[in-house]
Chains A and B, each alone.
Chain A
Amino acid sequence: MTPDLFTRLLETFGADFRRWPEAQRQAGEAFRDATPAALAQWQAAQHLDALFVLDRAPATDPAQVRAITDAALRRLRTRPEPGFDWRLLWSTPVGAALAASLAAGLVAGFAFGPNLQPPPERGVPAVAVLLGYDVTDLDGVL
């Protein structure tokens, strides 16, 4: 045990050697007992540990625990029903397939959509081009 290591361990784990890494406990105690400066450091650390203990809040009043639990349950009862959770789509094979086909449709729409624009002079409906209809047959229908 070196003075630096002792200081570092003390500044991390405090004065209670039971908190120290097992491999360093005995060496730490021996170093404290053999070195006056280490003993003074250890006493200061012990003082801080005692303050941590004193600073702990008293146990929470059971009535307060009940009040917080009741308030949480009240909020649960009064909250609106959740809407459809789209994440559920991915949790089943059928749902995942549906979601994937929807996504593929959207991608295809964005990718090929511009190519389906009608020439301005003829006013061809995009759906007609896509389905290969004779445009003249659909004039006035679409």
Chain B
Amino acid sequence: MTLADDSDAALMRLVAGGDERAFRRLADRHLDGMLRLARKMLGSAAGADDVAQEALLRVWMHAGRWRPERSRLTTWLYTIVYRLCIDRLRGQRTEPLERALDTADPAPGAFETVARAGELRQLAVALAALPPRSRAALTLFYYQELPGPEAAAVLGVSLRAFWSLLHRARQAIQQQMLTPDPLAKASEP
């Protein structure tokens, strides 16, 4: 049996009426993006799974509150995920940084692979060191590739404020990337 209209709006109407099949279809379509945002925000796969599950519960319980004429579904979903992540991050500010440092060593290979792995580790540390809102701005724009106005809506800020957040975030990352990777130095013979 197939769903005749599987647009987000049609599926959300069905979910609001308690249709589990429509709920699963929506999860198949959007959970990946929700998980990616949560992983970058929290720096933890397990934490991201919990947040995604909680976000799905909210979707089921409040599906009728989403207004397709006001926002895209992804904006609404990412807003839920973002706020759940912010709640979770309160009181555990140092955790993402510690987790970012807990990166596995790259497999032995070409120098370029090792250098790239070092850069990615530095990037993870730099991302984790950002304030949560800046991290979200950077993640939504560069990782999720959301247009500026949509990303600004997720964060609940004006577009101007969003560009400003994004600028500061990218600047901070660039700055951090210029400093030598302490782990790379420590592992040198």
Contacts and interface: CB of A to CB of B under 8 A. Distances in A.
Interface stretch (A25-33, A62-70, A124-132): A62-70
Secondary structure type dominating chain A contacts? helix
Contacts of A11: 167, 170-171, 174
Contacts of B133: none
A139 to B, nearest CB: 57
A7 B120 CA distance: 24
A51 interface: yes
Contacts, number: 73
A68 B120 contact: no
A-side interface size class = 20 to 34
Contacts of B80: none
A60 interface: yes
Interface stretch (A72-80, A99-107, A114-122): A72-80
A68 B167 contact: no
B120 A72 contact: no
Contacts of A44: 174
Interface of B: 20, 23-24, 27-28, 31-32, 35-36, 39, 49, 52-53, 56-57, 60-61, 116, 119-120, 123-124, 141-143, 163, 166-167, 170-171, 173-174, 177
